[in-house]
Structure 1
């Protein structure tokens, strides 16, 4: 089993290394983070020009690009790899090996989730919008946000039948994840916000907003980690059957 996982890792490195699209997707979160360097200047300009205080919205801006950006882009990488391997019938080949059928997509989910969590923390650090204490509080938020990557990847790979369809699905999912979960932040009070809890991004985003406001964010992390992990397992089973 260890040799099989090591072989999967070597194959991933070769695949990403020769695909410029995958490389650009991996670099995307840090480009998003670099955009955050402009936020203080934009905030000062808005206050001077229109007398509008942008500071209360900083946590929403940062969370959109640095908390949700890495999981969405890495989920897209996961989906494109799975769709490419579906075309190459990789899963069919693995069925004649001693490796259990679900090990390969599970390996993909774990690697992608861990990498997404690391990139969330790295993006927040690069953004320079958080203090050291706030960055430390964002680590558990990043873990829950990291679960979004396999959810997005498995969903895209389940709906799309090839890489072209996968890219189309990625645009729809990306747009939905960058808009709908932020409706509670701007328009709804807390009792009504929980209606959006069915959407996986709600929990890491709500935890991040609470952490930045100095509120209790552990309840959102606890519920979000369990809910998103359950969705990962459900989508893993669905995808395993479709890749067979």
Structure 2
């Protein structure tokens, strides 16, 4: 009975995706980012060097020096966020049309419903991150490391989804929250320019640790696994807290 209900939820998700143009646009944006970065970064690096813009007297590094932070932001951070935004808007659509509340009287409990959403969002996030890395083809780690880093990055998707579902009252408000959450990437961007140990202050924002693990792995430091585990644990804590918030929201409705 439960598996049948889950299949029905999946069918409803596909119907909502086909109906909501914004969700399709977000998914297409994933491909757009990967293709643009693949061709733009090498071209911009050569162009800026040829024109004498980078490096220069003030900035001693070529654009390629900043590839790690660019890749971490657009592929690890934004990859998880885009998947979370899609799932979050699906959840808000179900909240708007009463589907989420109706789930309370079905064999699928809110917790199982949340678990389904989290698993699906994590899988989609993982696929997006791996897809983008191998399309862009810049600073790609060995496959086994890439899988572990992508797993860590994929957990940001459920965080975004649960935040939107738990705090936004509708899709319009969700779009506003989405813009706000995108600013969280500034923590990742700024952290790269801060030297350790002050850099670890950015660790209050869990996705930082996944980017940190990626940068350490690129440099060949064995401590990348420690940073990855810290990031995964902190994100699991956030997911747990946001699950409780979303369940309370459902019962309130």
Moved more, 196-205 or 88-97: 88-97
- Per the TM alignment, residue 135 of structure 1 is displaced from its structure 2 partner at its CA by 4.7
Contact 2:152 2:232 in 1 (8 A): yes
Partner of 2:41: 39
Is 1:126 aligned with 2:135?
A: yes
Partner of 2:6: 5
- Per the TM alignment, residue 129 of structure 1 is displaced from its structure 2 partner at its CA by 1.1
Give the whole-Å Cα distance in 2 for the aligned partners of 1:95 and 1:135.
Answer: 42
- Per the TM alignment, residue 232 of structure 1 is displaced from its structure 2 partner at its CA by 0.5
Give the whole-Å Cα distance in 1 for the aligned partners of 2:110 and 2:45.
Answer: 52
Structure 1, residues 47-74: CA drift from partner, whole Å, max 9, x if none? 2222511222111111111111221111
Structure 1, residues 90-125: CA drift from partner, whole Å, max 9, x if none? 232111122222111221111001110111011001
Partner of 2:218: 212
Give the whole-Å Cα distance in 2 for the aligned partners of 1:148 and 1:222.
Answer: 14
Aligned runs of 1:63-78 on 2, under 5 Å?
63-78=72-87
Give the whole-Å Cα distance in 2 for the aligned partners of 1:134 and 1:62.
Answer: 16
- Picking from 77, 84, 102, the partner of 2:93 is 84
Partner of 2:102: 93
Partner of 2:239: 232
Give the whole-Å Cα distance in 2 for the aligned partners of 1:200 and 1:165.
Answer: 24
Moved more, 99-108 or 231-240: 99-108
Please report the RMSD computed on the Cα atoms of aligned residues, expressed in angstroms: 1.5
- Stretches (4+) displaced over 6 A: none
Gaps of 5+ in 1: none
Gaps of 5+ in 2: 56-61
Aligned length: 241
Structure 1, residues 166-197: CA drift from partner, whole Å, max 9, x if none? 001101111x22212221201x1121111111
> TM-score, length-normalised on structure 2?
0.90
Contact 2:5 2:107 in 1 (8 A): no
> TM-score, length-normalised on structure 1?
0.93
Structure 1, residues 180-233: CA drift from partner, whole Å, max 9, x if none? 2221201x1121111111112101111111122222211111111111011111
